[in-house]
Chain A
Amino acid sequence: MSDKNDKKINGATSLVRSLEHAGVDVMFGIPGGAILPAYDPLFDSSIRHILVRHEQGAGHAATGYAQATGRVGVCIATSGPGATNLVTPIADAQMDSVPMVAITGQVPSGAIGTDAFQEADIRGISMPITKHNYLVTNPADIPQAIAEAFHIAATGRPGVVLVDIAKDALTSETTFKWPTSISLPGYRDHSQPKQSDVDDAAALIVQSSRPVLYVGGGVIKANANRELLALAEASGIPVVTTLMARGAFPDSHPLHLGMPGMHGTVAAVTALQKSDLLITLGARFDDRVTGKLSTFAPGAKVIHADIDPAEIGKNRKADVAIVGDVRQTISLLLPALKAQYAKAHPDFTAWIKQVNSWRSTFPLGYDIPKDGALSPQYVIERLGKISGPDTIFTAGVGQHQMWASQFISYEKPRTWLNSGGLGTMGYAVPAAMGAKVGAPDTTVWAIDGDGCFQMTNQELVTCALNNIPIKVAVINNESLGMVRQWQTLFYNERYSNTDLHSKRIPDFTKLADAMGCIGLRCERPEDVDKTIEKAMSINDQPVVVDFGVFRDAMVWPMVAAGTSNDEIMVARELAPDWDSQEL
């Protein structure tokens, strides 16, 4: 690969060469008419292309790869339906700030706007769900567009960049020149936090008596977990980790109160509610965390550290705003705080005692079904215990996702991948595929629901054919469980269209077999460990375990949508007894 070459090549070769220069080692995609020219030079490239079975799978696989490795995930599709099938994973990745580049073919430039065969205005469609996007019609623009796309996707608040390339730009002659610099006059670098803001934050912290470190996914994106651990231990301040931040701080750590939000722990939710200072690191006051916003943490001042200035004050006013990379922010905050502590060491003893009492009084738990049926929480808890802290878990969306966030102990960043913002059912299997490609020596479990699994399981064929031995635990409660739970609680147990009958049809073990995977089934508590161990022993093929579970199990605690976090329920119609707990 030379940086400059006056030799005439076509745009497709320029594209593949650009992707190689951008450091791409793998991409997920499906060819089709408009993108076909690119697939010819790709055939000779060092880039591994994984031929998926649906473009949605390509997008989520790129996301899983990016979340597991921290690198930019890449997916590629043709024009029209190929591109529109990428819309869901693009929106998903953008919502969760995942660095991803999506390459799409477009009809020839002369046909754009004519309703040509397989034409869709994917640049227009993807405008509100990408960080940026390009339509390239001149082959000479390809290297610059690709270089900018990777730069934009990976820097600042990560996100998705789509590059749509007209077919004639791929087939026309050009020369290749990899840009040596990138000039984006409107793209500002916000990574360096201001020392004065950090000092203000440190001053607020020492004045507080009930502080909480409210940690979001940005801490994982910024690889700031070590800095966070040092900050928490040096300051003695308790930590909550949001759904996107599970693994940013060890679950086993005595300062960790668990996950806040709609299905968070009583300790985490209540600590935020009763706090007098939220030290917000790479989190965005999402409605699933705050509950009814006007009643969220009413007595708390807010320090808000985020790399995206538009997040500051978006949902909650910040008393101190620190715009910057959260790793750099914590690195500056730690010495500033130590200097403050040297002058006056704050005493959080009473507060720590209080949060610990919430934690011990209201631990996460579940009821074992009386009829001997398999408890879904038990299955997930055993999966976590048996496969250990190095395992990467992905999840779909719904009850199984919440249980997987609650009952598995995450000790390391990038071991919990899920669709937090968009809430995309069907994320688990293709994301696990991408994670396994990025971390081939790591065990990857997709914890999926029977509803989610039926949306994207076709990628198990891709896994079987490409030596990507993921493991899938289908938590089969034969229903759209979370929707059913809401019907139980809010719709008088009228189960409109949530019964999937998936213990009858399809037979997941036969489906697994048909897709070149090992299919296992487990329906009794006493078989759980040996079934998981069996699955763990198979490393040359994907494994699907159909766990037939108790269908009426519910996710608790719960803050009902639109209500205040103060109204958290630990079980159905059971609010915590606060009488002996008031601070």
Chain B
Amino acid sequence: MKLERTSHIISVLVENRSGVLARVSALFSRRGYNIEGLSVGPTQDPEISRITIVVSVEGHALDQVIQQLDKLINVIAIEEMHESSSVQIELLLVRVSVTSANQEKLLALVSEHGAKVAEMGPSSAIISLTDSSAKIESLISALNPFGILELTQSGLVAMRRTI
């Protein structure tokens, strides 16, 4: 996803129970904040999941929503992830038009971006890339001339750096 200048990445550790995602997302929606990216997945503890939310909210409003998140009984910990101090990765799947004429050019471009060919069909190919938002944006731009038929992208996941 293209991160807005005002976007913040909030990483939330929650109890792995039904309804938790609804509680968390409702806190954003009731205030009219649109969630730009969301990913939910397991952690090293099967009882605990991590929700990573990308939201464009600033200052006081951001503090408020974090405070309100913290009040949810099923929320265990909240951490804001900063670009400089965390690894941030997302996943792209994109289907582009391809012909025998430009197939080689496509393969070269895929390799140059560190992406992978997930499927090579007679008239289209699925390309996958797991990388930062910027790298994903760059690949999408490069693929545009081929003709993008379908695109899907995951929410971002992040982990704090130790160095």
Structural contact, B73 and A310, CB atoms closer than 8 A? no
Q: Is the C-beta of A308 less than 8 angstroms from some C-beta in chain B? A: yes
Structural contact, B67 and A310, CB atoms closer than 8 A? yes
Structural contact, A187 and B73, CB atoms closer than 8 A? yes
Interface centre among B63, B67, B70, B73 (most CB of A within 10 A): B73
Shortest B78–chain A CB gap in Å is: 10
Q: Is the C-beta of B144 less than 8 angstroms from some C-beta in chain A? A: no
For A123, the chain B residues whose CB sits under 8 A away are 19
B75 closest partner in A (C-beta): A186
Structural contact, A184 and B73, CB atoms closer than 8 A? yes
Specify which of B22, B60, B67, B74 is in contact with A186 (CB 8 Å cutoff). Answer: B74
Shortest A344–chain B CB gap in Å is: 35
Q: Is the C-beta of A440 less than 8 angstroms from some C-beta in chain B? A: no
Interface centre among A186, A309, A314 (most CB of B within 10 A): A186
Specify which of A135, A185, A308, A310 is in contact with B64 (CB 8 Å cutoff). Answer: A310
Q: Is the C-beta of B2 less than 8 angstroms from some C-beta in chain A? A: no
Structural contact, B14 and A128, CB atoms closer than 8 A? no
For A313, the chain B residues whose CB sits under 8 A away are 60, 63
1/0 contact trace for A121-144 toward B, CB 8 Å? 001100110011001000000000
Q: Is the C-beta of A152 less than 8 angstroms from some C-beta in chain B? A: yes
Tell me the bound Cα distance from A124 to B64 in angstroms: 22
1/0 contact trace for B1-35 toward A, CB 8 Å? 00000000000001100110011001000100000
Q: Is the C-beta of B143 less than 8 angstroms from some C-beta in chain A? A: no
Q: Is the C-beta of B76 less than 8 angstroms from some C-beta in chain A? A: yes
For B73, the chain A residues whose CB sits under 8 A away are 131-132, 152, 184, 186-187
Structural contact, B68 and A310, CB atoms closer than 8 A? yes
Structural contact, B30 and A128, CB atoms closer than 8 A? yes
Structural contact, B76 and A185, CB atoms closer than 8 A? yes
For A135, the chain B residues whose CB sits under 8 A away are 18-19
B30 closest partner in A (C-beta): A128
For B30, the chain A residues whose CB sits under 8 A away are 128
B48 closest partner in A (C-beta): A185
Tell me the bound Cα distance from A74 to B19 in angstroms: 24
Q: Is the C-beta of B159 less than 8 angstroms from some C-beta in chain A? A: no
B71 closest partner in A (C-beta): A310
1/0 contact trace for A170-185 toward B, CB 8 Å? 0000000000000011
Shortest A33–chain B CB gap in Å is: 24
Tell me the bound Cα distance from A308 to B64 in angstroms: 12
A311 closest partner in B (C-beta): B67
Tell me the bound Cα distance from A309 to B75 in angstroms: 15
Structural contact, B70 and A127, CB atoms closer than 8 A? no
Tell me the bound Cα distance from A308 to B71 in angstroms: 8
Q: Is the C-beta of B72 less than 8 angstroms from some C-beta in chain A? A: yes
From known contacts A127-B22, A127-B26, A152-B73, infer whether A185 and B67 are also in contact, taking CB-CB under 8 Å: no
B63 closest partner in A (C-beta): A313
Interface centre among B14, B18, B63, B71 (most CB of A within 10 A): B71
For B71, the chain A residues whose CB sits under 8 A away are 308, 310
Tell me the bound Cα distance from A375 to B20 in angstroms: 53
Tell me the bound Cα distance from A186 to B77 in angstroms: 7
Shortest B27–chain A CB gap in Å is: 9
What are 15 A-B interface contacts by the 8 Å CB criterion? A124-B22, A127-B26, A128-B26, A131-B73, A132-B72, A135-B19, A185-B15, A185-B76, A186-B74, A186-B76, A188-B70, A308-B71, A309-B70, A310-B71, A313-B60
Q: Footprint of A on B, CB under 8 Å?
A: 14-15, 18-19, 22-23, 26, 30, 60, 63-64, 67-68, 70-77
- What 7 pairs between A and B have smallest CB-CB spacing? A310-B67, A132-B73, A186-B76, A186-B75, A185-B76, A187-B73, A186-B74
